[in-house]
Amino acid sequence: MGFTAVEKLLSKNVGYDVKAGDIIMANVDRVMIDDIMVAFVKEKFDEMGFKKIWDSDKVVLIYDHFLPASQVDDTRQFRAGDEFASKYGIKNVHRTEGICHQLMPEKGYVKPGNVSFGTDSHTVTYGCVGAFSSGIGYTEMAGVLGTGQLWLKVPETIKITIEGKLASNVSAKDVILKIIGDLRADGATYKCLEFHGSAIENMSVAGRMTMSNMVVEAGAKCAMFTADEKTCEYCGIEFDSNIKELQADGDAVYCSELSYDAKDFVPYLACPSQVDNIHPVKEFSSVKVDQVFLGSCTNGRLEDLHAAAEILKGKKVCDYVRFIVTPASVKIYKEALNDGTIKILSDAGAVITHPGCGLCCGRSGGILCDDEVVVATNNRNFLGRMGTSKVKIYLASPATAAASAIKGFITEP
């Protein structure tokens, strides 16, 4: 009986064969601490009595949610983080470079076969490069910092296969929204979503990042995309036998399977106020839009900005619509600046902000008020996330967001 991708990866990590349901003590390759949690991690680490970090070079501290500070207490987190990094010799500190889940794969901190944890639920993003990654709390993180290990249950796996070619107006965001709608918000609780099929093979690493990022919205513990040549090119490593060994076996056992024909996907929305409230975009064309947000660790990458710019080139954002663009990292910002994408978006009427979490986490950069409608490319539309509890948040692809910004109503690209 064969092994799923996550079973293979975790077996290699612990040095013996493991199956779904087994409890293991995983050896951690990399951890990420964000600015929201760093003060709490520091407090718990000291409370547990640790005197040193197991390997400070494997720790990454990233300031992204509170940068620049929008509330008085925000800078407390920065001070706590700097003190912690200085005391324990953490050198991988990124203070102004972008969103944590973009920087971790972008800067090569996670590779195929790695086991990685972070103090944010969207740490599941790193499954895009064939890593096991999941979010944990600050108490668990303090334990990992002191020991380099974390116990976990090997998750069962849902196999998702998508064959064929997606329509030109359909993106990875539409695909994962549809899957979440089918699974529902609790349909993959503590499971791994393992992706297969020609549509997945043809998808860019950036597209896979979008999908991995959102598996947690169905309750998943992690995502697994089989590492291939484009994965290894992105990670700057060789596509060798060690990477190929991480592929799922043909006779692997799955707890369930979903199969799709790529041509059946259309542009989708996650409608207020649940991520699994999924409907085709065309059903909401009468909804007037007050604001559009393009960015976040879900859809703030270069290909996302390109998708919006292709639609907006030579056009203008509707007079009454506020259009906010937030690249996911400084690297992406510079690439978009150098290839003219930023100019296209700016000329169309977009406000370009610094790279960071910004509006996605509701801290700054475009908070909305009662009864306003925002079309956003991030990952959550919960009540109160982008302003008051009466703000209506529709999650969509970059193309849908751009088309809606032009027309002033929710619009299928």
Give the per-residue pLDDT at 154: 98
Q: What is the mean pLDDT of residues 311-322?
A: 97
Q: What is the mean pLDDT of residues 361-388?
A: 91
Claim to verify: residue 235 and residue 278 sit in the same structural domain: no
Residue 270 has pLDDT above 90, yes or no: yes
Percent of the chain with pLDDT over 90: 92
Q: What is the mean pLDDT of residues 226-252?
A: 96
- The β-bridge partners of 161 are 196, 259
**48 inside domain:** yes
The answer to whether 228 and 198 are in contact (CB under 8 A) is: no
Claim to verify: residue 139 and residue 20 sit in the same structural domain: yes
Q: 165 falls in which pLDDT band (50, 70, 90)?
A: very high
Claim to verify: residue 110 and residue 131 sit in the same structural domain: yes
Claim to verify: residue 181 and residue 272 sit in the same structural domain: no
| Cross-sheet strand order for the sheet of 392-395 | 278-280, 268-270, 392-395, 373-376, 291-295, 322-326, 351-352
Q: How many domains does the chain have?
A: 2
Claim to verify: residue 35 and residue 168 sit in the same structural domain: yes
Q: How far is CA 165 from CA 177, 260, 363, in A?
A: 17, 11, 38
**317 inside domain:** yes
Q: What is the mean pLDDT of residues 290-312?
A: 97
Domain of 301 in residue numbering reads as 268-407
Q: 71 falls in which pLDDT band (50, 70, 90)?
A: confident
Give the per-residue pLDDT at 23: 98
The answer to whether 410 and 289 are in contact (CB under 8 A) is: yes
**Residues 319, 379, 385, 343, Cα dihedral to 10°:** -30
- Residues 136-153: tens digit of each pLDDT: 999 999 999 999 999 999
- Residues 337-368: tens digit of each pLDDT: 999 999 999 999 999 999 998 888 887 778 89
CA nearest neighbour of 24 among 149, 205, 206: 149
Q: What is the mean pLDDT of residues 241-260?
A: 96
Residue 159 CA to its chain's centroid (Å): 20
Claim to verify: residue 298 and residue 207 sit in the same structural domain: no
**361 inside domain:** yes
Residue 292 has pLDDT above 80, yes or no: yes
Q: How far apart are CA 376 and CA 398, in angstroms?
A: 8
Claim to verify: residue 74 and residue 189 sit in the same structural domain: yes
Residue 18 has pLDDT above 80, yes or no: yes
Give the per-residue pLDDT at 329: 97
The answer to whether 129 and 227 are in contact (CB under 8 A) is: yes
Claim to verify: residue 248 and residue 295 sit in the same structural domain: no
The answer to whether 402 and 410 are in contact (CB under 8 A) is: no
170: CATH: 3.30.499.10
Q: 168 falls in which pLDDT band (50, 70, 90)?
A: very high
Q: How far apart are CA 180 and CA 366, in angstroms?
A: 27
Give the per-residue pLDDT at 268: 98
Claim to verify: residue 403 and residue 314 sit in the same structural domain: yes
**371 inside domain:** yes
Give the per-residue pLDDT at 67: 83
The answer to whether 214 and 360 are in contact (CB under 8 A) is: no
Last residue of a domain, one of 242, 262, 282: 262
Give the per-residue pLDDT at 393: 97
Residue 70 has pLDDT above 90, yes or no: no
> Could you count the other beta carbons within 10 Å of the beta carbon of residue 249?
13
pLDDT mean across residues, the chain: 96
Last residue of a domain, one of 262, 284, 300: 262
The whole model's pTM is what?
0.96
Claim to verify: residue 108 and residue 31 sit in the same structural domain: yes
**413 inside domain:** no
Q: What is the mean pLDDT of residues 108-121?
A: 97
**412 inside domain:** no
Q: 1 falls in which pLDDT band (50, 70, 90)?
A: confident
Last residue of a domain, one of 230, 262, 294: 262
Q: How far is CA 25 from CA 142, 153, 251, 383, in A?
A: 16, 9, 26, 37
Q: How far apart are CA 128 and CA 345, in angstroms?
A: 28
Q: What is the 8-class DSSP label of residue 150?
A: E
Claim to verify: residue 281 and residue 249 sit in the same structural domain: no
The stretches of 202-340 forming alpha helices (DSSP H) are 205-214, 229-235, 241-244, 296-299, 302-312, 330-338
Q: How far is CA 397 from CA 115, 310, 342, 376, in A?
A: 29, 13, 18, 8
Q: 325 falls in which pLDDT band (50, 70, 90)?
A: very high
Claim to verify: residue 69 and residue 175 sit in the same structural domain: yes
**307 inside domain:** yes
**310 inside domain:** yes
Q: What is the mean pLDDT of residues 231-254?
A: 96
